[in-house]
Amino acid sequence: MQLYNKLSAQERAALIDEAGEERLTLSFYAYAHIGNPQMLRDHLFISWNVLGVLGRIYVAHEGVNAQLSVPAPQFDAFKKHLDSIDFLNGIRLNIAVEQDNKSFLKLKIKVRNKIVADGLNDNTFDVTNKGVHVNAAEFNALSGQDDTIVIDMRNHYESEIGHFEGAITPDVDTFRDSLPIIEEDLSEHKEDKNLVMYCTGGIRCEKASAYFKHKGFKKVYQLEGGIIEYARQVKSQRLENKFVGKNFVFDERRSEAISEDVIASCHQCGAPCDTHINCANEACHLLFIQCPSCAEKFNQCCSNACAEIVALPEAKQKAMRKGNHNSNKIFKKGRAHHLKTVHHS
């Protein structure tokens, strides 16, 4: 019985081209109390592999977080399977604003300690005791009130290319970093202010809403479905769009345009740009923003040093990488000190 992906990304890409089917990129999450994550993980893999589902899925005692690509002809069968699982029955699916048949090239389902790392070790914290969900119209109305604070629960490299007007955008590298900072900064508003949180698809702000309720905040809200669902509702209901720029996404596309505004700049020359790339030097792989001019100048690398390595024969590059692993700077997402135009914390 196959329980793991056996095809390379290149082999899968060729099969997608050969099949000629449209695919749907979507995501969903559900916080729930799961007794045996490994058993659920294996069940999901067996069921989804035969449907041609690809993606990155995490299963933990606290729930499921899934980012997927599903063949359009198999969507009904996929939804039927979700509905056969009690806590996933009727789950909201966030359909991507921009579709790409190759957004995912492998099916990876992993058991994790948590579906969203939060750094908490508090047995009294119930992640299912969440804040009030609001839709796009309700979010717009709430965010326009004087007694409302809008908080971006994403990381700095995400909010750098797009965020809601007037939102607090914590200068953090991880979700776990943001929780204590926001709690401390807003501690005097536990009774009087509306806290309205948002993230990409809802999973981080839902945990954050439960956390801030746990910490005594009385008026806690979250944007249901996150930026992805907000953009869909704004378009379908012809609402005012209060999101400026792009929404960062965690697949091969890297972002979706929500408005035409470019609010970020190239990390190398400072020109207006909001295109993230990974350094072409596999030993570096740093995520940063690079304009077309710098991409040509540096051969899609973050520095001259990396460009010199990329110019070497592939065999020599592999030999240089052998036994080495990418340093933690890859997770700094553009904070590397050799990038001229970014803030270093």
In SS3 terms, 30-58 reads as: EECCCCCHHHHHHHHHHHHHCCCCEEEEE
Phi, psi of 276 (to 5 degrees): -80, 140
Instruction: Report whether 299 contacts 310 (CB < 8 A).
Output: yes
Instruction: Report whether 147 contacts 195 (CB < 8 A).
Output: no
Exposure string over 226-257, b if 16+ CB within 10 A, otherwise e: bbbbbbbbbeeeeeebbbbbbbbbebebebbb
Q: How would you classify the pairing of strands 54-60 and 63-71?
A: antiparallel
- What is the DSSP annotation of 209-274? HHHHHHTT-SSEEEETTHHHHHHHHHHHHT----EEEEEE-SSTT-EEESSS----B-TTT--B--
* Tally: H helices and E strands in the chain: 11, 14
Catalytic entry in 199, 266, 284, 306:
199
Q: How would you classify the pairing of strands 94-95 and 23-31?
A: antiparallel
Residue 275 structure tokens: 């295109």
If we measure between CA atoms, which residue out of 238, 242, 240, 49 comes closest to residue 162? 242
Instruction: Report whether 94 contacts 28 (CB < 8 A).
Output: yes
Q: What CA–CA distances, in Å, run from 113 to 61, 118, 212?
A: 7, 10, 21
Instruction: Decide if 199 is catalytic.
Output: yes
- Report d(CA 43, CA 273) in Å as an integer: 43
Q: Which residues are part of the catalytic machinery?
A: 199
